[in-house]
Copies of this chain bind each other. A is one copy, B any other.
């Protein structure tokens, strides 16, 4: 039986942290003296404490740590851990993109932007639509795209897929997302259903590369729109001209970004 201080020395977890783990049901002392409240640990609990330590070093949330420790058989546990390692991998990719994008931002001269005004006609498409949190966009997107592909089969010449992004997604961290593929006769299957996209005027530009870096292009497009005195309204549209479905070379990816505008009153623009 070890008092909390000894156990702390053995595991290199601070006393405070051990207490917190107790409260959180993560690591229950083998014995808690009913009268004094003193926590007593067994040496057998050292490995568990160290697993927790490692998982926390990997930023695994305490709730997930609890699930991992509570997993019945070792295989299940390994699966849960593997899941987190996958997440870690994704995090890493995100970091890489952020770094390169940061370099681009800090580079002295930003490449000038090609912006085009385009009248987008009303069109009926096969679409999946949901209310999604900003953190879940990636996951949702992958699932929705898979479902669209399952419903429509391999890519046709009807055109590339696209998406509509509710503004509140950016302003409040969650909002409606709609992912579509053009289709002459959209089926109804699972979450996929026919949706009529309204006609809009768009200020359109093309983003090159990883989608995670698109916000920079958004900013450039946005300031173009502001500078060119057009008013903004409605969800942003994207169209995936070339994406991970087409090639693994992310430098070749092309995303069209369409910012809804009202055409300036006086005559035809351009």
Contacts and interface: CB of A to CB of B under 8 A. Distances in A.
The quantity of this chain's copies bound in the complex is 2
B98 A11 contact: no
9 contacts: A6-B226, A6-B232, A11-B170, A12-B218, A13-B170, A43-B222, A43-B226, A77-B106, A85-B99
A11 B219 CA distance: 6
Contacts of A188: none
A15 B169 CA distance: 11
Contacts of A219: 10-11, 46-47, 49-50
A25 interface: no
A111 to B, nearest CB: 13
B47 A105 contact: yes
Given A101-B54, A171-B5, A216-B50, A74 B223 contact: no
> Majority SS of interface residues in chain A?
helix
A179 to B, nearest CB: 18
A14 B106 contact: no
A2 interface: yes
Interface in A208-254: 215-216, 218-220, 222-223, 226-227, 232, 236
